[in-house]
Amino acid sequence: MIDIRFLRENPEAVKENIRKKFQDSKLALVDEVLALDIESRKNKTEADNLRASRNKYSKQIGALMGQGKREEAEEMKKLVNEQSEALAAAEQKEAELQEKITKIMMIIPNIIDESVPIGKDDSENVEVQRYGDPVVPPYEIPYHTDIMERFNGIDLDSARRVAGNGFYYLMGDIARIHSSVISYARDFMIDRGFTYCIPPFMIRSDVVTGVMSFAEMEAMMYKIEGEDLYLIGTSEHSMIGKFIDTIVPEESLPQALTSYSPCFRKEKGAHGIEERGVYRIHQFEKQEMVVVCKPEDSKMWFDKLWQNTVDLFRSLDIPVRTLECCSGDLADLKVKSIDVEAWSPRQGKYFEVGSCSNLGDAQARRLKIRVNGKNGKYLAHTLNNTVVAPPRMLIAFLENNLNEDGSVNIPEALRPYMGGKEKIVPVK
């Protein structure tokens, strides 16, 4: 959410930003919120005048009573009562106007960074750099669930009977790799100076609306019936929510945190749920990184965050590339975003395994995350990035480490978490 003062002073810049995001239907919202803002400020002035006048007359009533001027005091009491009623009406109107303004401001997209490429959707995202040599072996790479089934490592049929499509049972060596990757990612980030955290897996609605747009909320979040609680779609939601309505001492920044959580997603929309695969599912686990920092440091942290993901995947012998998200592919709260994509030998192309985002002060403004600095209070900047998210990570891991005989190599970095195993061998 952008600052109302910025919109007030730069309406054309806000409109141009909307055009860059190809959301022309929102252009009228700028003029609408400006009109409401003018009305709100006028109403506030009237309320302030009424409040001052009422207070003035209230003081005079006591003086009149002390002078024995009861009739004049009674007349002034009537005037004070009238002003109190008018003030109550003005305060109610102010609350209604502010609610309308906030609702619109939550829809107007954040100002994107000037470096973001302009494009309508993810087909116009721009490749930045490749890391590692993508290889297509001379033997066939089966579909990822077929690889897992050779190890008796996945049971989709049972999961479907228990919970429906979009769920799975992982078992044996495949489940062990899954857990090993999570543990390795945790230690990888701790070694890079991040504080490990396990957050609440449910959050209240004020946190939900603070960390994401309404459209994202509807498409992603599961609500707990009868309670003001939602299952998290990623630990970022809970981790940023940790700072809601707080004043953070400047000397305590940056807050660099890495968090583990299960994630729950509706996955509504064009992509849908896979019946056979584990690429797009309702439930998965994830290691995340979150940073709360000073505004002048957010660009530096942005580059550090996506580089961490690249380095982790390369340490597991998986080729990756970074992709700059274009304006039309950015969620409304994001200033800038880079996706990390892993190489799929089976498909002969890269696919998304993580996304790094700089939110600027948008989440901090919604959640009232302020910093107490030397020159006064200001809004923090927030960033987040995926360290690793099995089981999607498993697809890249299995395909890139599969041997012709069906065995799967265990990269050296992961062996301590796999009991020293150098490879796993299929049972069928």
What's the token pair of residue 81?
Answer: 């009562």
Pair (157, 241) in one structural domain:
yes
Pair 381, 372: CB distance under 8 Å: no
What's the token pair of residue 32?
Answer: 């609408």
Tell me which of 77-81, 279-283, 356-360 is least confident.
77-81
- Structural domains in the chain (count): 2
Query: Is 248 a residue whose pLDDT tops 60?
Result: yes
Tell me which of 114-118, 213-217, 298-302, 331-335 is least confident.
213-217
Average pLDDT in the 102-121 region?
A: 95
Q: E-assigned strands of 163-319?
A: 169-170, 195-197, 202-203, 222-223, 230-231, 246-249, 255-264, 283-293
Per-residue model confidence (pLDDT) at position 271: 58
Pair (63, 166) in one structural domain:
no
Strand pairing report for 222-223 and 246-249: unpaired
Pair 301, 199: CB distance under 8 Å: no
Average pLDDT in the 251-272 region?
A: 86
Per-residue model confidence (pLDDT) at position 55: 79
Pair (159, 68) in one structural domain:
no
Residue 419 contacts by C-beta under 8 Å, 6 or more apart in sequence? none
Query: pLDDT-based confidence at 269, cuts 50/70/90?
Result: low
- The sign one gets for the Cα dihedral 342, 344, 350, 354 is negative
pTM: 0.89
For residue 426, whether the previous peptide bond is cis, meaning omega lies within 30 degrees of 0, is no
**H-helix or E-strand containing 141?**
none
Give the helix ranges, DSSP H, for 288-417.
Answer: 298-315, 362-367, 392-401
Residue 113 lies in a domain: no
Longest dimension (CA), the chain: 106
Tell me the percentage of the chain whose pLDDT exceeds 90: 82
| Last-in-domain residue among 60, 80, 105 | 105
11-20 vs 27-66: helix axis angle to the nearest 10?
Answer: 140
CA dist 331 and 347 (Å) reads: 27
Please give the mean pLDDT across all residues of the chain.
93
Per-residue model confidence (pLDDT) at position 423: 97
Query: Is 13 a residue whose pLDDT tops 90?
Result: yes
Per-residue model confidence (pLDDT) at position 391: 84
The order of strands in the sheet holding 349-358 is: 126-131, 320-324, 336-344, 349-358, 381-388, 283-293, 255-264, 195-197
For tokens 């109550």, name the residue: 88
What's the token pair of residue 193?
Answer: 């100076």
Pair (277, 210) in one structural domain:
yes
Residue 143 lies in a domain: yes
Average pLDDT in the 183-206 region?
A: 97
Please, which residues bridge with residue 385 across strands? 289, 356
Per-residue model confidence (pLDDT) at position 186: 98
172-191 vs 392-401: helix axis angle to the nearest 10?
Answer: 100
Instruction: Give which of 281, 297, 259 is closest to 388, Cα–Cα.
Output: 259
Which CATH number fits the domain that encloses residue 78?
1.10.287.40
Q: What's at 233, amino acid-wise?
A: G
Pair (47, 150) in one structural domain:
no
Query: pLDDT-based confidence at 219, cuts 50/70/90?
Result: confident
Residue 279 lies in a domain: yes
Tell me the percentage of the chain whose pLDDT exceeds 70: 98
Pair (100, 60) in one structural domain:
yes
Average pLDDT in the 2-16 region?
A: 96
CA dist 232 and 297 (Å) reads: 27
Average pLDDT in the 383-387 region?
A: 97
The total of other beta-carbon atoms located within 10 Å of residue 215's CB is: 12
Pair (336, 253) in one structural domain:
yes
The order of strands in the sheet holding 246-249 is: 246-249, 369-373, 376-379
Which CATH number fits the domain that encloses residue 137?
3.30.930.10
What's the token pair of residue 56?
Answer: 């003035």
Residue 112 lies in a domain: no
CA dist 304 and 254 (Å) reads: 13
Pair 411, 401: CB distance under 8 Å: yes
Please, which residues bridge with residue 285 across strands? 262
What's the token pair of residue 336?
Answer: 């800038």
Pair 341, 134: CB distance under 8 Å: no
Pair (385, 312) in one structural domain:
yes
Q: In this structure, what DSSP letter does residue 402 have?
A: B
Q: In degrees rounded to 5, what are phi and psi of residue 291?
A: -130, 135
Instruction: Give the domain range for residue 391.
Output: 122-424
Residue 190 lies in a domain: yes
Average pLDDT in the 17-30 region?
A: 97
Per-residue model confidence (pLDDT) at position 419: 96
Per-residue model confidence (pLDDT) at position 353: 95
Residue 394 lies in a domain: yes
Pair (79, 220) in one structural domain:
no
Residue 115 lies in a domain: no
Burial 165-197 (b: 16+ CB within 10 A, else e): ebbbebeebbbbbbebbbebbbebbeebebeeb
Pair (143, 206) in one structural domain:
yes
Pair (129, 45) in one structural domain:
no
Pair (285, 318) in one structural domain:
yes
| Last-in-domain residue among 46, 77, 105 | 105
Residue 110 lies in a domain: no
Query: Is 73 a residue whose pLDDT tops 90?
Result: no
| Last-in-domain residue among 52, 71, 105 | 105
Residue 404 contacts by C-beta under 8 Å, 6 or more apart in sequence? 137, 139
Q: In degrees rounded to 5, what are phi and psi of residue 206?
A: -70, -25
CA dist 44 and 91 (Å) reads: 8
Per-residue model confidence (pLDDT) at position 85: 87
Q: What's at 204, amino acid-wise?
A: R
CA dist 14 and 7 (Å) reads: 6
